[in-house]
Structure 1
Amino acid sequence: MSRTTLIISPAPTANGDLHLGHIAGPFLAADVHTRYLRATGRNVLLATGFQDTSTYVVTTARRLGMTPKALVARSAEQIETTLAAVGVGVDGFTGDEDRFVKTVLGFMEQLHAAGKFELRTMTFPYSPATGEYLVDGYARGGCPLCLADGCAGLCESCGNPIAAGDLIDPKSTMNPDDPVELREAQVLVLPMERYRGRIRAHFAEHGKAMRPHMVQAIEEMLSRPLPDYPITYPISWGIPAPFQEVAGQAINPNAEPAAWSIYCAALSAERRGMKLAADDELWLAGAGTKVVYFLGFDNTYPFAVAAVAMLLASDGRYLLPEEFITNEFYELDNSKFSTSRGHVVWGRDLVAEVPRDLVRFHLAATSPENQRTDFSRLALARVTTSRLVEPWNRVADTVDRFTGRGSLPVSERSRAAAARIIERFAACYELDCFSLTRAAETLTEQLGRLARWAVRPGEEGDFCHEVDVVLRCAAPILIDLAGAALPETRIPVGTNRMTVTPVTLPRLTPWAG
């Protein structure tokens, strides 16, 4: 059996629907890479889901005047529906089912029994008014490393973990006027420093696809001793910790990624018809699985450092993820998407208004790969019309002139051109240099070339052949056009077609905004 690639996008918090910032980040990229691998004959699974254990569920529910349970139920349906609406073909969609909780607890209990966790006294902000410790989404303040304002747990700006007790001027997010004091509590931690050398060695061998910001962050994080990573928190929200020494505490949701990823693999494999002997079969050392993460930059530490350390703590039982593709923030009118301020465009709303392929093309063309990029409706209308719709429709009009002629010959020159087209798209889709923006640029260039082609007698077959190859290479992005025009979307490794039979191609509908 050929090697399986497991592609994972971290589960969004179940505190709302997915806006374009989510879609343009990891989800579209993961979907496009998955579709490309399948089109080139490789085994691949794509997994995500939703996370209901985050404290942000509680804070958002409080702001909306809902119960956390009701918010989770509504958000879960919204997230899954929106992914389907924009064409993200997820195999395994995880939730809050008992099997997930069992997987997390089984993973944690295995490490606990092996003595990998240690009891430590840590300092946390504490609200005397509510009698609660303030962690992650419950506490807000300055990052002690980069000074940016944000919540505890992880810094969205520099990507480093932030111990709640290290926040500068911490405040309660739900009761910002309440006084806050620092108190100590004993929690279970993973002593991360034990694994720093092996994490560094892993990234020296793998991670070649990492983008510069993540490379910088990983080097910075591993250049100094790693702080202990809390496995449990002295709070009630989340999965109850089953350990006697921290009775009444919950599992830190940012400590779940390794176990959640194992569960992702099992669920995805089952839904693709694979038979597994055990839920962790695809993650076992020697399984041959290639694990790839598509994630926002702010998820670097929990997935690329803490999760790798937890997998290393299994003493060789599990393999390690090989590649990480990060993205920066996608903005709306030059400002961060903000649900609370109503500064947002929901993914499902946009594809209900604009043809889905146009949305996917524009998000690819403006993907926030290495820096923040911006969305505007005016740009969507202008870019998709000039770079996609108009040239494609001119190409389709030309093909129409040759339909009904039967089989047409394809020259050696055209076969060589097709091989180069495939190579140019592969250079965008393969992980070493993966780039949605360059894939969109390559598609624009090829459509422009074809639209300008004044087909001379004897070139009809060559023209139709190259149109077919370009559409196959564009299929991971233009899923509806390719689905309507092609009986199957396989991308050949090379091309040796001697003839082609032109068929009437569907047109794209422009969107005026």
Structure 2
Amino acid sequence: MAQSHHRRTVIIAPPPTPNGDLHVGHLAGPYLACDVYARYLRATGRDVIYTTGTDDSQTYVVASARRLGTTPEALADKSWHDIRSTLAATGMKVDGFAPFDDGYRGTVLDFVGALHAEGRFRQRTVRFPYSEKTGEFLMEGLVSGECPECLAESRGGLCEACGHPNNFDELINPRSTVDPADVLTTREATILVLPLEEYREQLTAYYASNSVKLRPHTRQLVSEVLARPLPDFPITYPTAWGIPAPFPETPGQTINAWVEGMPASMYCTAHAQRELGEEPAANDALWLSEQSIELVYFLGFDNVYFWGMTHLALLLAHQGRYITPAAIVSNEFYELENEKFSTSKGHVVWGRDLVAEVPRDLVRFYLALTAPEHQRTNFSRAALEKITNERLTVPWNNLVVRLGKALAELGAVGRPLPVSDEGRRRATTMIRRFESTYELNGYSLTRAADLIVGQLSRLQERSVQLANVLDGNAPTLLGDLFLEARTLLAAAAPILVDLADSAARSEDFEIELSVAACDVTQVVPFMLPLLSSTVSAG
């Protein structure tokens, strides 16, 4: 496999909105995908940063705080700590979970200030839904209605169902999300926008070069968006929540939270560097074109338009100063018992609660196996228990017991066992197959988890056959099985993090995810750890 001569990879998960903790639907999307990919890169000797933070400026924070009877500031602060804790509890090894602080705000203002100074923005007078009762313009998370593109229920700014934008007063039958009974009107406001149509040629060229890396639904959305005039992207909003816009044309307005995506990610990257003991020259230093990092986004389909069009256009507007993403890996929605996760309706499973009841390796395995990579998939507690027990825990523990018994019967404890050419070939083949699921050109958590199941089933069958072999071939057969079991454990390590950590604590075992680790003539047998089974609630 590829080693450390690769350029540094920066992996970005979209900052979660701090209006609550992370539920299983969030984790099954970009956060697990990012974590597994980052762990894989580290295991193959590559330099990687996996980072995120929180998206405090979103009006969803305001809407949620009002419904909960608290302040946006208090909700964002509590949620920041809860989210960071949940990521750690579920084994998401984020290199730096950035705070929303003066450094964050300064990075955003520097990013947009440079574009303003270069004349990249335009003034536009547009109409917004308006609450006569509260005297507020409504946008993004403060307003809902029917999507003008697909007619589904949508929030302002973007439709989660079809992925298309709806700016300003484009929602059909707009309603306040805080007070649905409030009768809305519309009012004009003069804001600053980024005219996306001016970046059509560059956006088209980017996707002409990178479309092969996109998942089908994302490719379809990009094609649909580029097939029509590109809408203006609002840079400022007439609302009080967010980072105050410093532009003389828009007094009293704030920066659109979606504008923060790229400078926020730059700040998260710099924060992660500091957590790793580095000291970047500036918060955007690693994103400069001359650094030549490989930038990878993992995100939900509902984020594709912003990250793949508006954010990309903002990077391009800096005229070559910054790198652009090497890959955008999207996922679809994850449902709970075949219904959409809903915090307000109590239809939710919180990530921290689940790993408190079920060993987190089993949670990670099940979320990987059922990951919503190309279509909506479903979380079921009953299915989690059934699938992890039948396909993972029981066969793995049976393999561990049989290998230990065979080792004792042969009197080979502590003695190196020979490995055959065929054993080395099988181990190498295993590594190659896992590589095909972990590398970006074929990245798939579902196929990686399914490969764990398939290889484990194969090894369990061979361990049963071993029990009937007592002749001179037994040491080599056992040596081959130990090599392949070690290889499977190394390949599964990005998903089964606790099992891998338990194995790594053995002085006879070192996880190395490479073909070179398979090229051995003998293997020292070691004590394989057992997997804990699920624990039913109640």
Residue 397 of structure 1 and its aligned partner are, at CA, apart by 1.0
Corresponding position: 1:9 with 2:32: no
Which residue type is aligned with residue 512 of structure 2?
R
Corresponding position: 1:503 with 2:521: no
Report the secondary structure of 1:75's partner residue.
helix
Corresponding position: 1:102 with 2:106: yes
Residue 2 of structure 1 and its aligned partner are, at CA, apart by 4.6
Could you tell me which runs of 5 or more consecutive residues in structure 2 were left unpaired when the two chains were aligned: none
Give the structure 1 partner of residue 413 of structure 2.
404
Runs of 4 or more, structure 1, over 3 Å off, are: none
Residue 489 of structure 1 and its aligned partner are, at CA, apart by 3.1
Report the secondary structure of 1:206's partner residue.
helix
Q: CA deviation digits over 1:416-445, x for unaligned, max 9?
A: 111110011111111111111100110000
Deviation larger for 122-131 or 343-352: 122-131
Describe how 1:44-59 pairs up with structure 2 within 5 A. 44-59=48-63
Corresponding position: 1:429 with 2:415: no
Residue 286 of structure 1 and its aligned partner are, at CA, apart by 2.3
**Cα distance in 2, alignment partners of residues 283 and 209 from structure 1:** 21
**Cα distance in 2, alignment partners of residues 371 and 71 from structure 1:** 32
- CA RMSD, 1 decimal: 1.2
Which residue type is aligned with residue 118 of structure 1?
R
Match of 2:487 among 439, 450, 469: 469
Describe how 1:63-462 pairs up with structure 2 within 5 A. 63-401=67-405, 402=407, 404-453=413-462, 454-455=465-466, 456=469, 457=474, 458-462=476-480
Deviation larger for 220-229 or 452-461: 452-461
Which residue type is aligned with residue 223 of structure 1?
A
Report the secondary structure of 2:11's partner residue.
strand
TM, length-normalised to structure 1 = 0.98
Contact 1:136/1:151 (CA < 8 Å) preserved in 2? yes
Contact 1:101/1:239 (CA < 8 Å) preserved in 2? yes
Residue 506 of structure 1 and its aligned partner are, at CA, apart by 1.3
Residue 328 of structure 1 and its aligned partner are, at CA, apart by 0.7
Contact 1:399/1:503 (CA < 8 Å) preserved in 2? no
**Cα distance in 2, alignment partners of residues 103 and 52 from structure 1:** 15
Deviation larger for 459-468 or 62-71: 62-71
**Cα distance in 2, alignment partners of residues 100 and 489 from structure 1:** 37
Percent of aligned pairs with the same residue? 51
**Cα distance in 2, alignment partners of residues 481 and 208 from structure 1:** 35
Match of 2:496 among 466, 470, 478: 478
Contact 1:51/1:95 (CA < 8 Å) preserved in 2? no
Report the secondary structure of 2:531's partner residue.
coil
Give the structure 1 partner of residue 511 of structure 2.
489
Report the secondary structure of 1:190's partner residue.
strand
Q: CA deviation digits over 1:240-284, x for unaligned, max 9?
A: 001111010010001111111211221122222233222212111
Deviation larger for 82-91 or 410-419: 410-419
Report the secondary structure of 1:246's partner residue.
coil
**Cα distance in 1, alignment partners of residues 257 and 511 from structure 2:** 39
Report the secondary structure of 2:212's partner residue.
coil
**Cα distance in 1, alignment partners of residues 213 and 443 from structure 2:** 7
Contact 2:358/2:535 (CA < 8 Å) preserved in 1? no
Report the secondary structure of 1:503's partner residue.
coil
**Cα distance in 2, alignment partners of residues 285 and 511 from structure 1:** 48
**Cα distance in 1, alignment partners of residues 26 and 123 from structure 2:** 36
Residue 504 of structure 1 and its aligned partner are, at CA, apart by 1.2
Q: CA deviation digits over 1:23-60, x for unaligned, max 9?
A: 00110011000000000010110011111110010110
Could you tell me which runs of 5 or more consecutive residues in structure 1 were left unpaired when the two chains were aligned: none
Deviation larger for 490-499 or 236-245: 490-499
Q: CA deviation digits over 1:80-136, x for unaligned, max 9?
A: 000000000001212211100000000000000000011111111111111110100
**Cα distance in 2, alignment partners of residues 163 and 493 from structure 1:** 51
Residue 314 of structure 1 and its aligned partner are, at CA, apart by 0.3
Contact 1:31/1:89 (CA < 8 Å) preserved in 2? yes
**Cα distance in 1, alignment partners of residues 535 and 71 from structure 2:** 41
Contact 2:502/2:529 (CA < 8 Å) preserved in 1? yes
Which residue type is aligned with residue 55 of structure 2?
Q
